[in-house]
A and B are shown apart, each in its own frame.
Chain A
Amino acid sequence: MPAPEPIHAPAVETRGLRRVFGASRGAGEVVALDGVDLRIERGEVFGLLGPNGAGKTTCIKILNTLLFPTAGEARVAGFDVVREAGEIRRRIGLVSGGESSGYGVLTVRECLWMFSQFYGVPGAVSGPRIDELIAVVGLREQANTRINRLSTGQRQRMNFARGFVSDPEIMFLDEPTLGMDVNAARRLREFVLEWVRARPGRTVLLTTHYMAEADQMCDRIAIIDRGRVLACDTPAALRRSVQGGQHVEVEVRGEPGDDDLLAEVAGVRVAWGAPHPERGTLTLKFRLPDERVLGDVLRTLEDRGLAVQGLSTRETSLEDAFIRIVGRGLDDEEGS
């Protein structure tokens, strides 16, 4: 008897999801996921942001039925990842950036057709879909070229198209634009957003190393570190959650005297200097909770005999929020 279709279930739901990798070769146990609770609704583009080793890929592998959780529960499209893997596999797609797929002797078109067959897509449907995807990833001229004659970037783009060939309900994109050139990455981001917009109810779970990508694409983002979800909200709300408003950089000429030269200005939370010996200047970076305080800062600098050479401001970015929440940047090693 076919399994019931839980159409009202969220796209992804995890409760207390935990995954521990056993000790091997002298290394101890590694806790990759430590009680992850997530709920991703249908139609969302959801981002999973975290530094290396945070547990993002482990989470995606569990949701793709490639790994068992050690404890907790994970459901995709309403189906349990352990007991109902077959139902899940029919509904999902997976693209891992930096991976290549297919066989060198096949052409791009043949390779995409092969993968469409693993998902049971009828020929009448797969043909036009493959043509569309080949155009989207910019491989129209290489459609009949053997894969072993493609460049690395072209193979990555083909791999991206491969993930969409089954037109899945829920798409898992694990660093999909890793190593791609800027134009190709931008085109693929636009495609994903259009793909979701044109198909109500389709869901994307994205992991990425590029903050701007997550900021641009995601409706909500979960920040994960050491296997735990530290924050989960819209990009705008995450930015707002970080105290402080505008970020200011002022380049000054002169001797600042002591390091704490802005301490007397109320509301300035952080201040530090970066010297530019070649220009004989110093850049002060600080955050202002209220832009009206900027006048006080400039007056203080003038009183100290520092000549302002340049000034720039920017709003709190997702990266600022990430660093504040996690305690380090995406590419920073732990403890550095």
Chain B
Amino acid sequence: MTWLERLVLDLRAARARAYVRVVGTFREPQGVLLDAVFPNLGMCAFVLLYRSLGAPKSFEALAVVGGVMTTFWLNVLWGMGAQFFWEKQNGQLQLYFAAPCSRMAILGGMAVGGLAATVLRSLVGVALGVAVFHVRLAAFSPWWLAAVFVATMAALYALGMMLASLFLLYGREAWHTCNALTEPVFLLSGLYFPLRTLGAVGAVAAGLVPLALGVDALRQVLMGRAAHGLFPMRLEFAGLCALAGVLLVLARASLDHLERLSKREGRLTQRWQ
């Protein structure tokens, strides 16, 4: 098989897997409602809290950006990290491992499809912020916004691709692992307050959790100085690009490790084992 044939195969596999995500979004309207509206309720609560305390208007914008990014984190955690676990439970994972396409292509398809579906859901948060709460943003560069958003998503979904294998290796119910990770990451990412507030912990979190760095950088693009950024935005952008690369390599390595372990021990990817 030439590299070109392999590339075409992997692109076809990624497109097919992304298709499931996108189609699934539109065929389950009640799911859209739950995924789009409920994560934004936390954001609404913080906006109302800041408003009732008479905090500066910039804090409301800060909470809206954090709330919008919440939808992506939930998708990464439940739709990427836990996905191989669900696939194993319904017997599908071994079909992926028996197929000739790359498992990274399947994970990539999941990521692209999940991202596309979640963008639609996150627009609900944007609409709530702009139309209901009338948050105001500084004049911003759309190019920087696009660049930082893409880098954040690349790092975030690469983390999800890595988690997909790690969840299976960890061997616990994905359900519990997702629950255990949700709130700590919310806190460490400073979703509803400036990351700088966490001090040294915030700096460490920025280096480990792409969501933290991404949210902080996006706030700086959209709000300027009012974002109370942790590091200069360009430095954070570079950090996000580096994280995306490192996490992709780690995702590949953990996937290979999972496959080797599965073949050696006869479990992990196979149902009931």
Interface residues of A (CB under 8 A from B): 2, 19, 21-22, 58, 61, 64-68, 86-87, 89-90, 92, 94, 96, 99-103, 105-106, 110, 113-115, 117-120, 146
Residues of A with C-beta under 8 A to B263: 65-68
- Cα A103 to Cα B92 in complex, Å, equals 9
Chosen A-B contacts, 14 in total, with CB atoms closer than 8 Å, are A22-B265, A58-B266, A61-B266, A67-B266, A86-B1, A86-B100, A94-B95, A102-B92, A105-B28, A114-B16, A117-B12, A118-B95, A120-B5, A120-B8
B264: interface (CB < 8 Å): yes
Q: In the complex, which residues 231-273 of chain B have their Cβ closer than 8 Å to any Cβ of chain A? A: 262-266, 269-271
Interface residues of B (CB under 8 A from A): 1-2, 5, 8-9, 12-13, 15-17, 19-20, 23-24, 27-28, 90-92, 94-101, 106, 262-266, 269-271
- The residue that B16 contacts in the complex, of A19, A96, A117, with Cβ under 8 A, is A117
Query: Across the two chains, which residue of chain A brings its CB closest to B273?
Result: A21
Query: Across the two chains, which residue of chain B brings its CB closest to A122?
Result: B12
CB distance from B9 to the nearest CB of A (A): 4
A106 touches B96 (CB 8 A): no
Residues of A with C-beta under 8 A to B266: 19, 21, 58, 61, 67
Query: Across the two chains, which residue of chain A brings its CB closest to B12?
Result: A117
Residues of B with C-beta under 8 A to A61: 266, 270
Known: A105-B28, A117-B15. 9 other contacts (CB 8 A): A99-B91, A101-B91, A101-B92, A110-B19, A114-B17, A115-B99, A118-B95, A118-B101, A120-B13
B270 touches A118 (CB 8 A): no
A119 touches B23 (CB 8 A): no
Query: Across the two chains, which residue of chain A brings its CB closest to B26?
Result: A105
Residues of B with C-beta under 8 A to A92: 98
- The residue that B94 contacts in the complex, of A66, A102, A103, A118, with Cβ under 8 A, is A66
A90 touches B265 (CB 8 A): no
B101 touches A100 (CB 8 A): no
- Cα A117 to Cα B92 in complex, Å, equals 15
CB distance from B251 to the nearest CB of A (A): 19
B8 touches A118 (CB 8 A): no
B19 touches A114 (CB 8 A): yes
- Cα A101 to Cα B89 in complex, Å, equals 11
How many contacting A-B pairs (Cβ < 8 A)? 89
B1 touches A118 (CB 8 A): no
- Cα A94 to Cα B270 in complex, Å, equals 14
- Cα A106 to Cα B270 in complex, Å, equals 23
Residues of A with C-beta under 8 A to B97: 65-66
B12 touches A66 (CB 8 A): no
- The residue that A119 contacts in the complex, of B2, B17, B92, B101, with Cβ under 8 A, is B101
A106 touches B101 (CB 8 A): no
Residues of A with C-beta under 8 A to B92: 101-102
A118 touches B96 (CB 8 A): yes
CB distance from B107 to the nearest CB of A (A): 13
Residues of A with C-beta under 8 A to B100: 86, 89-90, 118-120
Query: Across the two chains, which residue of chain A brings its CB closest to B15?
Result: A117
Residues of B with C-beta under 8 A to A2: 1-2
CB distance from A95 to the nearest CB of B (A): 10
A64 touches B1 (CB 8 A): no
B91 touches A106 (CB 8 A): no
- Cα A19 to Cα B265 in complex, Å, equals 10
A90 touches B1 (CB 8 A): yes
Residues of A with C-beta under 8 A to B1: 2, 86-87, 90
- 9 smallest CB-CB distances across A and B, nearest first, come from A117-B16, A120-B9, A89-B100, A118-B99, A105-B24, A117-B12, A90-B100, A114-B16, A68-B263
